[in-house]
Amino acid sequence: MPDPRVASGPVLEVRGLSKSFFGITVLQDAALTLMPGEVHGLVGENGAGKSTLMKLLAGVHQRDSGEILLGGEPVDFGHPTQAHEAGLSTVFQEFNLLPDRTVAENIFLGREPRKGPLVSRALMNSQAAQLLDSLGIASIRPTTQVRALSVAEQQIVEIAKAVSFNARVISMDEPTAALAGPEVELLYQIIARLKQRGTAILYVSHRLREIFDLCDNITVLKDGKVVATRPAADLDDASLVRLMVGRPISAYFPDKLPSGPDARDRAPLLELAGAGNGQLDAITLSLRPGEIVGVAGLQGSGRSELLQAVFGAAPFTRGRMRVNGREFLPRSPRQAIRSRIAMITEDRKAEGLSLNQSILDNALSVVRAVMPGNTPSARRNVPGVFSSLEVVARDLDQEVQYLSGGNQQKVVLAKWLAISPQLVLLDEPTRGIDVGAKIAVYQLMRQFAAEGKAVLMVSSELPEVIGMSDRILVLHDGRLAGELPAGATEEEVLKLATGARGEEQP
């Protein structure tokens, strides 16, 4: 039962909230009101201050000024645990799970169910199972080590954990950044259930479709200030983007290259013939210079594994691979990088960046490690790359950990550009980056193609795959389920991805 005292008024009110880091104001005089059962969208460009606002609410950071009222009572949390106990929980943008512990241990960390003085694993596992079950999560077992879960599954565990606190308010910071179609659907259902219980949700996402699907009201942050709070019904994509970036945006995806007959005739840059390993089988494909090829498929279909294999991180054990017509089957990323194959991954924390090093050191890390002779020239190019990606940072000596999530992703891109790749493998390249930066990345991909490089891109965002690809390869169960031309519909892609068969002929 919702507390009647709460149900009558706002469950969360924020007034005059300000915060600065190292003398730079990142949030200024922010105000926000959430009613019980309301889903409130919080949007804005990378570095606008969305995560900072959530961290102030959660007690991760301390505010410089302003008021936070929960159920009408002023609160002042020194630590996220206090926020949880008061009924405010948060799904953070960066994962906070302990990889060596099980799902159940992570959910109940610090509040393990006990029998007498002892932690009861049996009780903990059964309560976790109950929780996952009540949220309709069938695929994750409480006893599995978090390390063994996919990024998407870890995200689902984070969400389940936040829900388990019986919160009155749940903040979610880009909860779908790692999720694909069916899991996003699962999150929608979880949110619908929470809404019914009267839980208020503060929802941060760069995916406008979700914002409009889920939110009752939308607050736009720009440069740390609230520029508007409106009912979602009063806004559309164009008007919202305009509020976020301060200018209208015409073409989201750049034009595809005119693919004349000569493009088809060019010698392939990458060829695979009957390639396979533990996760993949019978992969045959060829990629020509100047092409952007999208790889679609459900989570677990082998999309990322395909890129990992080409990159030598999880090499093929069968079949053949050629690069520029020469047999080349990289046994390690180092070998792949030497052949100017770049791989931009989805998990910037684990694979992409050294958070406690500077932007510049991160940008040069691959070049230094693999082709040290090229470091000076790469170093000269770094400032240009960063300004074309519109990285928001104090300077290039700033530690990466202090950048916003989206700006960290741009640093990952920059460090791979530094090797001047001929083949670029992209795994969820725009995860977590804002509309303006997304467009910059799309243009960059097109520029690659125009320079005669080739791009192989995995993305869970179908509009992105369709909008960017000259051809789309669809994977299902580790095999190629089919190929679609540019301009294919989401339905066609999904049909192949789910392994749905064509109409039976009588």
Ligand X SMILES: Nc1ncnc2c1ncn2[C@@H]1O[C@H](COP(=O)(O)OP(=O)(O)OP(=O)(O)O)[C@@H](O)[C@H]1O
Residues that bind Mg ion (CB under 5 A): 51, 93, 405
CB of 9 to Mg ion, least distance (A): 29
Per DSSP (E only), the strands in 223-311 are 225-231, 270-276, 283-287, 292-296
Beta bridge partners of 14: 32, 68
Quick check: 28 binds ligand X (CB under 6 A)?
no
Whether 249 contacts 236, CB under 8 Å = no
Partner that binds at residue 297, options Mg ion, ligand X, none, CB closer than 5 to 8 Å by kind? none
**How many residues are present in the chain?**
506
Quick check: 445 binds ligand X (CB under 6 A)?
no
CB of 210 to ligand X, least distance (A): 14
* Runs of H (alpha helix) within 102-180: 103-107, 121-134, 151-163
Partner that binds at residue 49, options Mg ion, ligand X, none, CB closer than 5 to 8 Å by kind? ligand X
Residue appearing with tokens 């009540």: 134
**Binding segment (CB under 6 A) for ligand X, from list 82-90, 117-125, 378-386, 401-409:** 401-409
Whether 449 contacts 424, CB under 8 Å = no
262: exposed, middle or buried (Cβ count in 10 Å: 0-12, 13-18, 19+): exposed
Q: Residue 493, CB half-sphere, CA atoms under 13 Å: how many?
A: 26
Of the pair 249, 392, the CB lying nearest ligand X is at: 392
Q: Which helix (H) or strand (E) holds 359?
A: helix 359-370
Give the whole-angstrom CA distance, residue 106 versus residue 230.
37
Of the pair 246, 278, the CB lying nearest ligand X is at: 246
**Residue nearest to ligand X as judged by C-beta position:** 406
Tokens of 286: 């060829």
Quick check: 396 binds ligand X (CB under 6 A)?
no
Single residue of 89, 277, 404, 430 touching ligand X by CB under 6 A: 404
Quick check: 80 binds ligand X (CB under 6 A)?
no
Partner that binds at residue 89, options Mg ion, ligand X, none, CB closer than 5 to 8 Å by kind? none
With a CB cutoff of 8 Å and minimum separation 6, the contacts of 135 are: 159, 160, 163, 186, 190, 193
CB of 384 to ligand X, least distance (A): 21
Partner that binds at residue 47, options ligand X, Mg ion, none, CB closer than 5 to 8 Å by kind? ligand X
Q: Residue 53, CB half-sphere, CA atoms under 13 Å: how many?
A: 33
**Binding segment (CB under 6 A) for ligand X, from list 194-202, 265-273, 348-356, 403-411:** 403-411
Quick check: 362 binds ligand X (CB under 6 A)?
no
Quick check: 276 binds ligand X (CB under 6 A)?
no
Single residue of 91, 403, 419, 474 touching ligand X by CB under 6 A: 403
**Residue nearest to Mg ion as judged by C-beta position:** 51
Give the whole-angstrom CA distance, residue 284 versus residue 275.
7
* Runs of H (alpha helix) within 202-288: 208-214, 237-245, 261-265
Give the whole-angstrom CA distance, residue 68 versus residue 66.
7
Quick check: 26 binds ligand X (CB under 6 A)?
yes
How many binding residues for ligand X (CB under 6 A)?
Answer: 20
Single residue of 33, 52, 127, 469 touching ligand X by CB under 6 A: 52
Of the pair 287, 403, the CB lying nearest ligand X is at: 403
Window 88 to 107, contacts with ligand X (CB under 6 A): 93
Q: How would you classify residue 300: left for phi > 0, otherwise alpha for psi between -120 and 50, otherwise beta?
A: left
Provide the mask over 410-439, with x wherever binding to ligand X is found by CB under 6 A and - wherever it is not. Answer: ------------------------x-----
Beta bridge partners of 480: 475
Quick check: 329 binds ligand X (CB under 6 A)?
no
Q: What residue ranges bind ligand X (CB under 6 A)?
A: 21-22, 26, 44, 46-52, 93, 392, 402-407, 434
